[in-house]
Homo-oligomer: A and B are copies of this chain.
Amino acid sequence: MKFIHTADWHLGKLVHGVYMTEDQSYMLKQLVKLVEEEQPDCLVIAGDLYDRSVPPVAAVELLNEVLFTINVKLGVPIVAIGGNHDSAERLSFGSSWYQQSDFYLAGKLKDTVDSVNIKGVNFHLVPFAEPGLVKYAFNDDRIISHEEAMKAIIEKIEKKMNHNEPNVLVGHAFVLGGETTDSERILSVGGSGCVSARNFDLFDYTALGHLHSPDAISHNKIKYAGSLMKYSFSEAKQQKSVSIVEMNANGTFQLERKSLIPLRDMREIEGYLDELLDERFYSEQKKDDYIKVTLLDEGALIDPINKLRQIYPNILHLERKRTLQDMKKKTKLNVLTDERKSELELFSHFYQEVTTAEFTEDKQNIIVDVIEKMRREGVGR
């Protein structure tokens, strides 16, 4: 039995004020193509289909089109859950109809856990829910944390579970406790939003969403699919993919990651303005990627963002490099709390605000000359 595991599509996402819809559509077309080629028995989407509870209309249309193509046109069953970014109730609308064509969507946690058997594999659908909601749905006052909520959910599953068939939990949570993490320590320190990996021991495969890196956990049976694409510069170095899982009848599996190629990559570049605007530099680059630029120049620059945008039309963020030493220097001066500073001090402060260079003695001498000249000529006060 073969399924594709994906998560965190975040349709309708804005990154630095730019809608990602075109890029998401491009990625999802590749996913549809992959589904056509791989002919899996099921597509698993582990939450955060949308980026927010009321997604923009274009996102609604895109999700509708992609899911209908996969589910009805290609006839592939879908198992999907709501994530913390989805509105449980809004996402749930229509789910009773979808079941008729093997599209199983659990938007909202109920007092029972939906389970569905697809070609001999049981999928248990655990949509994201705040502990307070689980407490209410299960009428169990002892549930305070995500850890307790997940324990209670899994107890419910266990009661009805068929251990003679492979079992897959589909969830959306911050799970800690892979081979490299001492999860108990982290939990006790106060990772209140976290869930311990040990909860999932029962399952042959735990198909997770929530964390955006497919490497967010290192565990032989608990896996994040990772997000559909990079949604933040903090993810710039991550390799995004979907997971193709071949599940054997005894619950063992083989997992293969397939990378999808973004329309525009998200990456960071760093350098001096002149350098970045030099054809020898940018000619080898995909200039329409989403780019964060860090400028190394000191001193004032005239309209660097527009100069850069001529070359890199999709620049999303620009910043100047500041060393820790610069920061420290800055805190020593505070022009607003002492009005009796000399012109030289004021200029020195200004210089350090707008540049990252040292206000050397040579530079100071030039300014002192200018100030004295102005005073003689009666400019200023």
Contacts and interface: CB of A to CB of B under 8 A. Distances in A.
Interface size class of A (residues with CB under 8 A): 20 to 34
Contacts of A100: 72, 97, 100-101
Nearest to A73: B96
Given A100-B100, A100-B101, A93 B60 contact: yes
Contacts of A101: 97, 100
Contact of A57 (B89, B96, B97): B89
Contacts of A61: 89, 92-93
Contacts of A60: 89-90, 93
A96 B68 CA distance: 7
Contacts of A94: 64, 93-94, 97-98
A180 B324 CA distance: 83
Contacts of A63: 93
As for how many copies of this chain the complex holds, the number is 2
Find the residue from A57, A72, A92, A93 having the highest chain B CB count within 10 A.
Answer: A93
A87 interface: yes
Interface in A80-123: 87, 89-90, 92-94, 96-98, 100-101, 103
Contacts of A89: 57, 60-61
A335 interface: no
A72 B57 contact: no
Nearest to A103: B97
A57 B97 CA distance: 19
* Max chain B Cβ within 10 angstroms of own Cβ: one of A57, A68, A103: A57
A93 B98 CA distance: 11
Contact of A97 (B54, B72, B90, B92): B72
Contact of A93 (B54, B64, B71, B103): B64
A55 to B, nearest CB: 9
A87 B71 CA distance: 24
A219 to B, nearest CB: 35
Contact of A96 (B54, B64, B93, B96): B64
Nearest to A56: B89
A61 B92 CA distance: 8
A68 B90 contact: no
Contacts of A96: 64, 68, 72
A68 B103 CA distance: 16
Contacts of A97: 68, 71-72, 94, 97-98, 100-101, 103
Contacts of A103: 97
Contacts of A57: 87, 89-90
16 contacts: A57-B87, A60-B89, A60-B90, A61-B92, A61-B93, A63-B93, A68-B97, A71-B97, A72-B100, A93-B93, A93-B94, A94-B94, A97-B98, A97-B101, A100-B100, A100-B101
- Minimum-distance CB pairs A-B, first 9: A94-B94, A57-B89, A68-B96, A64-B93, A97-B97, A54-B54, A97-B98, A60-B93, A60-B89
Given A97-B100, A100-B101, 7 more contacts: A54-B54, A57-B87, A63-B93, A71-B97, A93-B93, A93-B94, A97-B98
